[in-house]
Structure 1
Amino acid sequence: RRDSAKVLAKWGACRIWDVLAKSLVHGRVLWCAGGMDYGMSLSARREITKKEAGEYFRSSKKAKGEILDRLMVEIGWSRANARRQLGRAFRRRGPARVVTRKPRPPSYGYDTVKVLQQVWVVAGQPCGKYLAAVMSATLVNMEAHIGSGAFGRARPRYSPQVHTQLLAMSAATIDRLLAPFKLSMYPEGKSTTRSRRNHYTEAIPIMSRIPDIDWQPGLVAIDTVAHCGNSAKGQYAFTLTATDVFTGWTVNRAIKNKASKWVVKAMDEIQDEFPYPIDHCHSDNGSEFLNEPVTTWCNAQNIRMTRSRPHHSNDNPFVEQKNGAIVRRSAFNYRYDTDTELRLLNELWPLVNVRKNLFLPTKKVTGYHLSGKGKSVRSYDDPRTPAQRIEDTGIMLEPQRRHMKELYASLDLAGLTTRINEIQQQLIRLAAAKTYSQAPHAA
């Protein structure tokens, strides 16, 4: 009924009744109690279009307009869609079901896909949006260290054509081409977070959202990730993650267990690695943070403490995201419970942090806007690395800024990734057997 009103308004009542009269002669207009019914089958629509297609392309301009008007009333198509369907039906020979659709030839060859896999590994396995943003810088770094094996086995496949295709590749295409390569890479993880109430729970205030005054460098979200494998029994290592909410600068430290003395020691080391002072720590309700040694250390360092609401992990989303994107992706989900594995983890994290902070970009929410369908969606800024965000703030002194630029220019990204992979393989060799032996199906 609504579509009929639009047609009436555009072409006038006299013309539409003339179209309806012609359609009634053809016997193809369906009526119901509430008006016209466009619920005809797809085969009926194709049959009508096929019959009209020949006449449409032999007719004059005025007659074509009448045919389009008739299809709008009979089938309910828009004028543009009716014209498009008539063109397809005219070119089609035979019924639509026997027409085989020719697949579009692939735009990217096998060589491009293999080089893309190597670039993804060297860059730290980011998602397509982030890899597309740093593709040019990553290729420049790999080409500068091509003699040291930056491209690995994909070196013979790298050519100017492949280089051009990688730079032109969209984020969605990167994710689609890498999807088979990413499947079944890591075992599943296990959470050991348990909220406990004590007098520190009442003393440390809750912060469920970040106020505008704290949107500046210095607010650090912290959390721990358990390396327990498939069983939380016994003693095993943890990784303490600290990430700046504003810049995304992230530092990790492996600790022997969640005892407060190890947490305090790790926080001391993390504070020394941040390029600017920490003035605010935000954690969950884990007992490793809500205790006397940690609160005493924060008070001595003049660091304000806040916590999330119990069982609301989204109150601390920035570090929760890093738990998956950095800790689980780099150290996997194996069980690490020996001194050798703890030492390897602490060799791994500085390398992973340098690659993440200097080379891998992040996006930040800048606000919300209404989509075309009236839905409120997030708006993001352009992807930038944590180092670039820190430089934009102007919080670093000139010697620190100069040191960071020199480190970025001299760092061999492929060599760094190779060393990361070597440590990861050592960890897997040490931990894989005992991790899978503790799985439920192993019994």
Structure 2
Amino acid sequence: MFHNYVTTKPHNLNDLEVAMNIEARRAYIKAVKERYTQSSKKDKSRILNELCLICGYSRKHAIKLLSEIHSSANVLEFKRRPGAPKTYSSSVDARLVELWQIMNYPCSRHLKQALPLWLPYDLETDENTKRQLLAMSESTIERRLRPTKNKRPKGKSATTPPKLKTQIPLKLCKEDDRKTVGFFEADTVAHCGDSLSGEFAWTLTMTDLCSGWTENRASLTKSAEQIKAGVKDIEKSLPFVMMGFSSDNGSEFLNSTLHEFLVEERGNAVEFTRGRPYKKNDNAHVEQKNFTHVRNIFGYERIEGQNLVEKMNHIYRELWCPLKNFYTPCIKLKEKQRVGSKIRKKYDIPRTPFQRLLDSKQLSMKEIESLQNEKNGLNPFKLQRQLKQELKDFYEMLEKYRYVKRAA
């Protein structure tokens, strides 16, 4: 009577426990329930023995099942779990994960603010799913993304202190610098892989303290001339004037070439300062951008060759920096308060660097109009698709370079 429910034919009765699936067990219980209720105590004991042997239940559980069936429960129906029904379907969760990946893995707080900016351009998501995504709170987004989040590896330090320190004053970040557009923190990222030996690519990162506007440029070395060229190229692309430049104590920054360019060769000198030695948190803003703006797309691979550096700069200029500056919200620390042994931090609402520039009211109408026109010509989904293709091409070039180098 069980052949329609048994997945494999058992060789003996003991194998039946493994062979029977849940539907077969339910059908068997339903078949014996009437006989069980009408049997004597001795026959009930025998039926229970058979049920425990065939289905693998404990005796107490078998009695409970037969009693539930005798009362009101239907063994062929699933019981609904207690609690409120699901608000979001699995398809909404799947689309949330896809958008999170497309937006380059922002935290839930940033993602919450980015969704209204991205979804108007999303042609693949239906309106009902869009409404549900916009209705999600930060906590709900965090819970539903938690199973898919991965840890990322750490990087290597490549900073060497130079001798030119007396000409460049030591200065910590002030509150006024964080409220005024144009004060930058700068740092470099080594694309060295597992070894700092030889020639490899470097990325220069510069971030504005007030708005979070960030630009990146790659070079084959971190020589003074290459870093100067990177700073010069970034300055040309900025929608506002650079007023301050703060770096660590690395030799790529503390040198006469960069000092002359920023301070001596221009009418309105840039305020060139440095942080304390061995205090990475003095330039905490740009240290954080090194991960979100550099490691997130180029990882910890060793990158060599001028053609790869040029490809990196194309990605930075045309795709990555516009995507980050116009369509990726970020948060800023408002205050810190010590409560006993703990420090409680309060953050503002996530905003994109573009929105923060407009909120600052420090740009001219011409600068605002230029920025708005640039944003109107951008589509975040198109940028992301192009970025994905360019990164695919980049890693194919990188693999080809390694193959040729190994064969040489």
Q: TM-score, normalised by structure 1?
A: 0.67
Question: Partners in 1 of 2:273 and 2:259 — Cα distance?
Answer: 10
Residue 384 of structure 2 corresponds to which residue in structure 1?
417
**Contact 2:186–2:247 under 8 Å retained in 1:** yes
Residue 356 of structure 1 corresponds to which residue in structure 2?
324
Q: 1:237 to 1:374 in 2, by over 3 A?
A: closer
**Contact 2:185–2:285 under 8 Å retained in 1:** yes
SS in 2 for 1:239: strand
SS in 1 for 2:165: helix
Q: CA RMSD in A?
A: 2.6
Residue 68 of structure 1 corresponds to which residue in structure 2?
none
Q: 1:109 to 1:192 in 2, by over 3 A?
A: same
Deviations 1:217-265 (A, max 9, x none): 1110000001111222210000100000111011110111101111011
**Contact 2:178–2:209 under 8 Å retained in 1:** no
Residue 50 of structure 1 corresponds to which residue in structure 2?
none
Question: Partners in 1 of 2:322 and 2:217 — Cα distance?
Answer: 13
Q: In structure 1, what residue type is equivalent to 2:255?
A: N
Pair 1:431-2:398 in alignment: yes
How much has 1:345 moved relative to structure 2? 0.4
SS in 2 for 1:203: coil
Pair 1:108-2:108 in alignment: no
- Which of residues 178, 196, 209 in structure 1 aligns to 2:161? 196
Q: 1:197 to 1:400 in 2, by over 3 A?
A: closer
**Contact 1:247–1:386 under 8 Å retained in 2:** yes
How much has 1:340 moved relative to structure 2? 2.1
SS in 1 for 2:180: coil
Residue 126 of structure 1 corresponds to which residue in structure 2?
106
Q: 1:425 to 1:182 in 2, by over 3 A?
A: farther
Question: Partners in 1 of 2:296 and 2:177 — Cα distance?
Answer: 33
Q: 1:401 to 1:307 in 2, by over 3 A?
A: same
Question: Partners in 2 of 1:170 and 1:271 — Cα distance?
Answer: 38
Pair 1:162-2:142 in alignment: no
Residue 296 of structure 2 corresponds to which residue in structure 1?
329
How much has 1:168 moved relative to structure 2? 1.6
Deviations 1:132-174 (A, max 9, x none): 01212210122xxx2xxxxxxxx3xx33332222112222332
Identical counterparts, % of pairs: 29
Question: Partners in 2 of 1:285 and 1:249 — Cα distance?
Answer: 23
Question: Partners in 1 of 2:162 and 2:376 — Cα distance?
Answer: 49
Pair 1:227-2:195 in alignment: no
Question: Partners in 1 of 2:382 and 2:186 — Cα distance?
Answer: 29
How much has 1:385 moved relative to structure 2? 1.1
Q: In structure 2, what residue type is equivalent to 1:116?
A: L
How much has 1:367 moved relative to structure 2? 2.0
Q: 1:401 to 1:221 in 2, by over 3 A?
A: same
Residue 172 of structure 1 corresponds to which residue in structure 2?
139
Pair 1:268-2:237 in alignment: no
**Contact 1:259–1:288 under 8 Å retained in 2:** yes
Q: Structure 2: state its 5+ residue gaps.
A: 1-80, 404-408
Q: In structure 1, what residue type is equivalent to 2:105?
A: Q
Aligned residues, how many?
Answer: 321
SS in 1 for 2:166: helix
Q: TM-score, normalised by structure 2?
A: 0.72
Q: In structure 1, what residue type is equivalent to 2:144?
A: L
How much has 1:404 moved relative to structure 2? 1.9
Residue 97 of structure 2 corresponds to which residue in structure 1?
117
Q: 1:133 to 1:428 in 2, by over 3 A?
A: same
SS in 2 for 1:316: helix
Residue 210 of structure 2 corresponds to which residue in structure 1?
246
Residue 139 of structure 1 corresponds to which residue in structure 2?
119
Q: In structure 1, what residue type is equivalent to 2:132?
A: Q
Q: 1:189 to 1:428 in 2, by over 3 A?
A: farther
Q: 1:165 to 1:432 in 2, by over 3 A?
A: farther
Q: 1:203 to 1:379 in 2, by over 3 A?
A: same
Question: Partners in 1 of 2:368 and 2:97 — Cα distance?
Answer: 32
- Which of residues 245, 270, 282 in structure 2 aligns to 1:315? 282
How much has 1:390 moved relative to structure 2? 0.9
How much has 1:426 moved relative to structure 2? 2.1
**Contact 1:341–1:430 under 8 Å retained in 2:** yes
Q: 1:108 to 1:216 in 2, by over 3 A?
A: same
Question: Partners in 1 of 2:100 and 2:93 — Cα distance?
Answer: 10
How much has 1:435 moved relative to structure 2? 8.3
Q: 1:261 to 1:378 in 2, by over 3 A?
A: same
Pair 1:298-2:262 in alignment: yes
Q: In structure 1, what residue type is equivalent to 2:306?
A: D
Residue 151 of structure 1 corresponds to which residue in structure 2?
none
Q: 1:118 to 1:289 in 2, by over 3 A?
A: same
Q: 1:358 to 1:209 in 2, by over 3 A?
A: same
Q: Structure 1: state its 5+ residue gaps.
A: 1-100, 147-154, 437-443
Pair 1:278-2:242 in alignment: yes
**Contact 1:112–1:162 under 8 Å retained in 2:** yes
How much has 1:196 moved relative to structure 2? 1.9
**Contact 2:182–2:208 under 8 Å retained in 1:** yes
Pair 1:339-2:306 in alignment: yes
Range moving further from structure 2, 211-220 or 304-313: 211-220
How much has 1:183 moved relative to structure 2? 2.4
Question: Partners in 1 of 2:177 and 2:126 — Cα distance?
Answer: 50
Question: Partners in 2 of 1:424 and 1:324 — Cα distance?
Answer: 17
**Contact 2:184–2:242 under 8 Å retained in 1:** yes
